Amino acid sequence: MSSWAFLTQFRGIRRLKIFAYGNHETSQLHGIRSLSTAAVSKSYVQGVHTRELGGKQLLLDPHTNKGTAFTLKERQILGMHGLLPPIILDQDRQLQRIQRAYDHLQTDLERYSFLTDLHERNEKLFFRMIRNDIESIMPIVYTPTVGLACMQYGNIFRRPRGMFITIHDRGYVAEILSNWPAKDIRAVVVTDGQRILGLGDLGSYGMGIPCGKLALYTACGGIPPNQCLPVCIDVGTDNENLLEDPFYIGLPHRRVTGQHYDDLIDEFMQAVTDVFGRNVLIQFEDFGNHNAFRFLRKYRSQYCTFNDDIQGTASVAVGGLMTAEKIVGKDIKDMKFLFAGAGEAALGIANLLTRHMWESGVPRQETYKNIFLFNKDGLLVQDESVQLESPEQADYAHEHEPITDLHEAVKKIKPDALIGVAGAGRLFSKEILETMAEINERPIVFALSNPTDKAECSAEDAYRFTDGRCIFASGSPFPTVTLEDGRTFSPGQGNNVYIFPGVALGVISCHVKHIPDQIFLIAAKTLASEMTDEEIAQGRVYPNLKRIEEVSVSIAVKIAAYVYAHGLAGLQPEPLDKYEFIRTQMYSTDYESLLPSTYSWPEHIMKPQGKGCV
């Protein structure tokens, strides 16, 4: 049987599974060699019957669909002529039309759903729209709106995105992952839904987080979307509201814990690398504190993995503090830090701070003494009657009197920087902020918890109660603040998006197999170095979000230099121009022709050469 006769027997879902991803490698099932990402736009027209696979199918596939931007020639050759209205609109005109419809929407959840639908129809136009207005759209596709979307995930669920793997799939995880039509996967973001932002256990509704995170991998870091895979590990939920909801889309039972849970995660990690290769990046997202730390310790030397809640948050916070030290004129090693929160984010920041100080010449044991952690039970102190939640907290439990009131802790410790990562809402009261302003000429106040209603204080309160003298950053965006005296402040957003796209771009491009902490310190230093004098003069500690792509590229280039210098890069030979190398790896939102390449032979080759030829 010929290849084409074999293919034509596979109609409907079977054929869709093999060919629906024009930007992906084609399936091995039909015996045609897999295509690389570079051959994306040609995959439908080389080696297969284009008219049969074209037409409606190309329009239904978000990776190949260009909508009304298909040229007349493409419409005729690809078998879609008549399936579109006659008007031909280029991407710029399409963007104007989409933007006009978007601007008429009334709520952020409506905007989220609109963008999700666009993503599922026309991938390149979706990412072009984000890049075109990153400042206003990023809060919709990610924090804070993604938190609301996760809470309403069952109500807005239309088409499945990513992969759902359950506790009942043990023994078959690799087989399930093999169902994903793309084979050239380079980045996996996985959650078990236990600690979604500051919202708690949302079970399978947490899928919105990996989807949103990977959208920013592409929009801000240029990771090709066909190389990205969002995954939700569903082991149940302890959320009573979800368990009682007849329309909940996840497993309707309580969370499975213990050895069965650990065995599933072990199998998942092995299966990802078995199916997609040893170089695939696996990012853990929104796991519970206990699991987050132990999985990072367990897997970091076996796989290419990191935890964004621990390491990404640490990197963006330390990058902001490196800029803040320029503003206050005081070295980080001489500052005192008080954290509201003692979980994975707080410990991640504290650990990276100590690494930075240690590399600056401070003895390791001395690096801990100026970092204080405060949780729901009070200040972490050395007290045998107090049981620490994780072994990582031990280094920051000081010989200090117990303090159970945060304001009292601020007065006693006199910190230069107050960093909120508790996810418990408005912990930084008027009195606390006023005390920070009494202690410091330029108090550093980072309210990093997400989403917005979980932030430790608003930007307006921070500026008002410190007389406009604070250096402020938040995890979710806040609007511009104008005080009564007319002074205006543009609060910085300490969002991990400044870090994880650049880290992923560098790691994936260079085929790094393991990610050391040093990479996140490099990312923090690069982020601080990207600040302009104008931005620092404005009191900002993070670059304008409009420059996020160039920031990501700078981080990726620095990482590339480091991994090649230390023998961590799997891709050989080493690129001489690392900037150009990184740029060539990045996704373009420009439409490409789906027509096959054509060329001419020299005319004299085709002329008969023998005697007697006329």
Give tens-digit pLDDT for 496-554. 999 999 999 999 999 999 999 999 999 999 999 999 999 888 888 999 999 999 999 99
How confident is the model at residue 51, as a pLDDT? 47
Side-chain-side CA neighbours of 603 within 13 Å: the count stands at 0
What's the rounded mean pLDDT across residues 396-420?
94
For the chain, the average pLDDT equals: 89
Phi, psi angle pair for 87, to nearest 5°: -65, 140
Binning pLDDT at 50, 70 and 90, where does residue 50 land?
A: very low
DSSP code at position 569 = B
User: Which of 2-11, 292-301, 551-560 is predicted least confidently?
Assistant: 2-11
8-12, 423-427, 498-502, 595-599 — which one is most confidently predicted on average?
498-502
First to last CA, the chain: 43
Q: What is the mean pLDDT of residues 83-107?
A: 97
Report the DSSP beta bridge partners of residue 307: 284
Nearest to 561 by CA among 523, 513, 524, 587: 523
What SS3 class is residue 612? coil
- CA atoms of 497 and 506, how far apart (whole Å): 14
SS (H, E, C) 318-345: HHHHHHHHHHHCCCHHHCCEEEECCCHH
Q: Average the pLDDT over 459-482 and give the result.
A: 94
Active site residues: 142, 213
* Cβ-contact 202, 193 below 8 angstroms: yes
Q: What is the pLDDT of residue 44?
A: 40
Q: Which one is predicted more confidently, 250 or 198?
A: 250
Residue 587's φ and ψ, nearest 5 degrees, are -75, 140
Rg (C-alpha) for the chain, rounded Å, is 26
Q: b or e along 399-425 (b: 16 or more beta carbons within 10 Å of the residue's beta carbon)?
A: eeeebeebbebbbebebbbbbbbbbee
3-state DSSP call for residue 111?
A: helix
Compute the 3-state secondary structure of the chain and give helix, strand, coil in percent, each to the nearest 5.
Answer: 50, 10, 40
* Angstrom distance (rounded) from CA 467 to CA 482: 12
Sort strands 337-340 and 481-482 into parallel, antiparallel or unpaired.
unpaired
Secondary structure of 165-195 as H, E, C letters: EEHHHCCCHHHHHCCCCCCCCCEEEEECCCC
Helix, strand, or coil (residue 243): helix
Work out the number of other CB atoms within 10 angstroms of the CB of residue 311.
29
Domains belonging to the chain, first-starting first, are 311-495 (3.40.50.720), 500-564 (no CATH)
The pLDDT tens digits of the residues spanning 171-205 come to 999 999 999 999 999 999 999 999 988 789 999 99
CB 311 within 8 A of CB 348: yes
DSSP 206: G
CA angle 145/497/120 to nearest 5° reads 55
Of 41 and 176, the structure prediction assigns the larger pLDDT to: 176
Distance, CA of 265 to CA of 262 (rounded, Å): 5
Which pLDDT band holds residue 207 (cuts at 50, 70, 90)?
A: very high
Tokens at 268, concatenated: 């998942």
**Burial (CB count within 10 angstroms: exposed 0-12, middle 13-18, buried 19+), residue 466:** buried
**CA atoms of 353 and 497, how far apart (whole Å):** 19
Residues 444/321, Cβ–Cβ less than 8 Å: yes
Within 10 angstroms of residue 448's Cβ, the number of other Cβ atoms is 30
Model pLDDT, residue 38: 39
Residue length, the chain?
Answer: 614
Q: What span, in angstroms and rounded, lies between the C-alpha atoms of 531 and 529?
A: 5
Share of the chain above pLDDT 90, in %: 74
DSSP string, 373-434: EEETTEE-B--TTSPPSSGGGGGG-BS------HHHHHHHH--SEEEE-S-SS--S-HHHHH
> Which residues are paired to 187 by β-bridges?
228, 281
Count CB neighbours of 561 within 10 A: 16
Q: Could you identify the residue written with the tokens 């406009």?
A: 468
Whether residue 211 has pLDDT greater than 70: yes
At 156 the pLDDT is 83
Q: Per DSSP, what are the bridge partners of residue 166?
A: 234
pLDDT, tens digit, 9 for 90 and up, residues 322-376: 999 999 999 999 999 999 999 889 999 999 999 999 999 999 889 999 999 999 8
Q: What is the pLDDT of residue 276?
A: 97
Which residues, listed in sequence order, are joined to residue 305 by a DSSP beta bridge? 282
Are 186 and 227 in contact by the 8 Å Cβ rule? The answer is yes
| Separation CA 508–CA 157 (nearest Å) | 31
Task: Answer whether the bond into residue 230 is a cis peptide, omega within 30°.
Answer: no
